[in-house]
Amino acid sequence: MVTRLSKFFLRTLREDPAEAEVTSHKLLLRAGYIRRQASGIFAWLPLGLRVKAKIETVIRDEMANAGAQEVHFPALMPREAYEATGRWDEYGDLLFRLQDRKGGDYLLAPTHEEAFTLLVKDLYSSYKDLPLSLYQIQDKYRDEARPRAGLLRGREFTMKDAYSFDVSDEGLEASYMAQRDAYERIFQRLGLEYVIVQADAGAMGGSRSEEFLHPTPVGEDTFVRNDSGYAANVEAFTTAVPDTVPFGDAPEATIFDSPNTPTIDTLVAHSNAVLDGEYTAADTLKNVVLALTHLDGTRELVVVGIPGDREVDEKRAEVAFAPAEVSTANDDDFENNPLLVKGYIGPWSTTGAVLGEESATGIRYLVDPRVSEGTSWITGANVDQKHAYSVVAGRDFTADGIIEIANVRDGDPAPDGSGPVSLARGMEIGHVFQLGRKYAEALGLKVLNENGKLVTVTMGSYGI
């Protein structure tokens, strides 16, 4: 039935709304597709619903072609299943939590792995029932800290999430590729440019993880790619580790006076003046003190050594230390740990001597992969107004572990040896995971195999 424009429920705006920051948000409001109800929460108007319905039709077509069947779960879910998988706590402040009149705990689901797993557990018990792929198109809820880009990062958003169930890892790989191929067909039909990148699974867990990103300057994700086909989210990018350097003939580590040099720039300038060298920030080892807040509320300090010409990437740090929350150490942290000399911190180890001093704090010391055995650095001496040079990794200090939190830059080598990468911005439009058996084990999803033995089902998760 045709609706006359004169009767169509539509009002356009002449000016950009004050609360709209990105172009897509401005246009959706001005053209009458959506209306704001609260921060990150929008009403769909008739014009917007028509477009949304057409997108959902494309998705349903391709899900059917991939062999997936549609179900629909409630948005309001009980606490118990999410507690069994650990995500009641892992999601932290992202969860909308509430109670019913009897005091029972519920949440507005950010995603539905638990519900799908329990549904299959309730109805299926044999390998003959598998493989199985189910999906839904449902609203999700996440209490985003800064919902400011219209529909791009809302607190309520519509998502297509699909889940595959298989007996074997080989079966999971086939299901994964079927969904991955379906995503490519969906985005091609919608005319969306996309890049498939290696990604971190985050709170979802699992092994293989890939994101479909739409390249756009307003995207919240940074990714890297090169002309040889390598592409990865910065959170999943791994550093090409330098070869071990022989250090048998390396000069001994030497402490020198370095007054008023608490920054890398001042240290480089002073070192070039007193050490008669041509040093750059890349020759220095910067030691950053971070505070981790764990799920049980405990606070832990860690010291991370990274090359002085690099900065800590907040997103990479969040992934590396997840599920703990990461922040910069504050003045109280330094006051409570006087052996950490602010501005002059050197290599730190809980297991051995560093420049002749024993670590007595128990603070973990982690390093960037570039701080490999045999590399030599100018770094803090753990003494006020003093640094040290010719400090060799593996000889003068050992770390308690390796961690990837330094920023990625244009020109960094791809870990697969395919050449240098360049940085780009993108918006996540799809994500596919091989979850494995994490949720099935937590919730007891098992079936009898062909030998009559109970085996844990392996799963995949696929969201748009």
Tens-digit pLDDT profile for residues 305-343: 999 999 999 999 999 998 889 999 999 999 998 888 999
Between CA 364 and CA 216 the distance in angstroms is 39
For 254-402, CATH number out of 3.40.50.920, 3.30.10.20, 3.90.960.10, 3.50.50.60 equals 3.90.960.10
What residue segments make up the domains of the chain, in order of their start?
18-211+427-463, 254-402
Report the chain's mean pLDDT, rounded to a whole number: 91
Query: In which band, very low, low, confident or very high, does the pLDDT at 92 lie, cut at 50, 70 and 90?
Result: confident
Cα–Cα nearest to 459, from 185, 118, 186, 56: 118
Q: Which two tokens stand for residue 72?
A: 């629909």
What integer pLDDT is reported at residue 363 of this predicted model? Answer: 87
pLDDT tens column, 214-255: 998 888 889 999 999 899 999 989 998 888 888 878 889 999
Between CA 327 and CA 315 the distance in angstroms is 11
Whole-model pTM: value is 0.83
Judge whether residue 203 has pLDDT over 80.
no
363 contacts 303 by C-beta, under 8 angstroms: yes
For 18-211+427-463, CATH number out of 1.50.10.10, 3.30.930.10, 3.40.50.20, 3.40.50.300 equals 3.30.930.10
Beta bridge partner(s), residue 455: 447
Give the gyration radius of the chain's Cα atoms.
26
Query: In which band, very low, low, confident or very high, does the pLDDT at 372 lie, cut at 50, 70 and 90?
Result: very high
Q: Which two tokens stand for residue 103?
A: 């005091």
For CA atoms 153, 115, 105, 327, the dihedral sign is negative
